[in-house]
Amino acid sequence: MPNTQQLEDFVSQVRRDILRQVHKVNSGHPGGSLGCAEFFTALYQEVMEHNSDFNMDGIGEDLFFLSNGHISPVFYSVLARSGYFPVEELNTFRLIDSRLQGHPTTHEGLPGVRTASGSLGQGMSVAIGAAQAKKLNNDSHLVYTLHGDGELQEGQNWEAIMYASAKKVDNLISTVDLNGQQIDGSTDDVLPMGSIKAKFEAFGWTVLEVKEGNNITKVIEGLNKAKSLTGKGKPVCILMTTMMGNGVDFMMHSHKWHGVAPNDEQLENALGQNPETLGDY
């Protein structure tokens, strides 16, 4: 198991990868990606039992589904640096003939990706199916998901949330990235959702809160706590508060960097705040 410093170094490199990917093609979504660097690092470097020698069925290992597919830069960086595909391939993000599509997909056969996501609100249903298949296969491993908070405005989520508790899908840990931002502004301005915690609880889920979603130690603690609560008849939800654009001072505290790439000068500034630790690709 890596120690905390090693994990923080990993996060710093992931942030660099995110920034460099979106800068190169002047497109992509850095804000939410940066906010979830700790979460992905925790999952793939510490919490999940997974096999980078990728097999779609994933029997005998934990699975992860990214529902808010637009934060693909963080997903790609962590998959590459966890051994799923060469880190040099991050150079092809969003380019023609690439496996690293703007939004993640199985279509080009990128190892580590088990569904297509991008059109929001579909990931939890797919994850529930995978979790129920695990039960049929007597596979005791877990299924993890990540969702944006704005994404919960899509109704299909609530079909899935209702179903997961009704059918006791208790091998599922769904994390909601509470960064409070979406494209048009803050979630409270666009469509206030009230208490997401109360909603999940009312739907019969066990709910945990990770208030410091950009503290790798706290994220790991939260995920491990969630793991300990699986297998008890209820799906588990982690409400994880993060900062969009975390790690880059001028990208924080705003929705403006949801889907905008930094220019040359901004990139240099941002990279200066996040040291190269594992080697740039």
Partner 1 sequence: MKKYTNTGNKDTRSGFGAGLAELGKANENVVALCADLTGSLKMDDFKNNHPERFFQIGIAEANMIGIASGMTIGGKIPFTGTFANFSTGRVYDQIRQSVAYAGKNVKICASHAGLTLGEDGATHQILEDLGLMKMLPGMTVINTCDYNQTKAATIAIAEYEGPIYLRFGRPKVANFTPEDQKFEIGKAVLLNEGNDVTIIATGHLVWEALIAAEKLEEKGISAEVINIHSIKPLDEAAILASVKKTGCVVTAEEHNIIGGLGESVARTLSLNNPAPQEFIGTNDTFGESGTPEQLMEKYGLNAEAIFAASEKVIKRK
132 binds partner 1 (CB under 8 A): yes
Could you tell me the smallest distance in angstroms from the CB atom of residue 174 to partner 1?
13
Of the pair 69, 262, the CB lying nearest partner 1 is at 69
Token pair 């001028």: residue: 250
Of the pair 132, 273, the CB lying nearest partner 1 is at 132
128 binds partner 1 (CB under 8 A): yes
Which tokens hold the place of 14? 């992931």
Of the pair 113, 219, the CB lying nearest partner 1 is at 113
202 binds partner 1 (CB under 8 A): no
Sorted by sequence, the CB contacts under 8 Å of residue 29 that are 6+ apart come out as 22, 70, 71, 72, 73, 258, 259
Of the pair 143, 208, the CB lying nearest partner 1 is at 143
Q: What is the distance between the alpha carbons of residues 185 and 54, in angstroms, rounded to a whole number?
A: 38
The sign of the dihedral angle between the CA atoms of 200, 44, 87, 10 is positive
| Interface map 28-67 toward partner 1 (x if CB under 8 A) | ----------------------------xxxx---x-x--
Contact 15, 34 (CB under 8 A): yes
Instruction: Provide the CA 243 distance to its chain's centre, in angstroms.
Output: 14
User: Binders of partner 1 among 77-106, rule CB under 8 A?
Assistant: 105-106
* Ramachandran angles phi, psi of 142, nearest 5°: -105, 160
Of the pair 128, 210, the CB lying nearest partner 1 is at 128
Could you tell me the smallest distance in angstroms from the CB atom of residue 140 to partner 1?
13
Q: What is the distance between the alpha carbons of residues 25 and 85, in angstroms, rounded to a whole number?
A: 20
For β-strands 181-182 and 185-186, DSSP reports them as antiparallel
Q: How far apart are the first and last CA of the chain?
A: 24
140 binds partner 1 (CB under 8 A): no
Of the pair 155, 194, the CB lying nearest partner 1 is at 155
Contact range with partner 1 by CB under 8 A, out of 17-25, 134-142, 182-190, 206-214: 134-142
Three-class SS state of 56: coil
Contact range with partner 1 by CB under 8 A, out of 38-46, 71-79, 163-171, 227-235: 163-171
Of the pair 83, 129, the CB lying nearest partner 1 is at 129
Among 134, 147, 234, 255, binds partner 1 (CB under 8 A): 134
Query: How many C-beta atoms lie closer than 10 Å to residue 59's C-beta?
Result: 13
Q: What is the distance between the alpha carbons of residues 240 and 9, in angstroms, rounded to a whole number?
A: 21
| Interface map 249-278 toward partner 1 (x if CB under 8 A) | ------------------------------
Q: DSSP character for 105?
A: -
Give me the residues that bind partner 1 (CB under 8 A), please. 56-59, 63, 65, 105-107, 114-119, 122-134, 136-137, 139, 155-156, 159-160, 162-163, 166-167
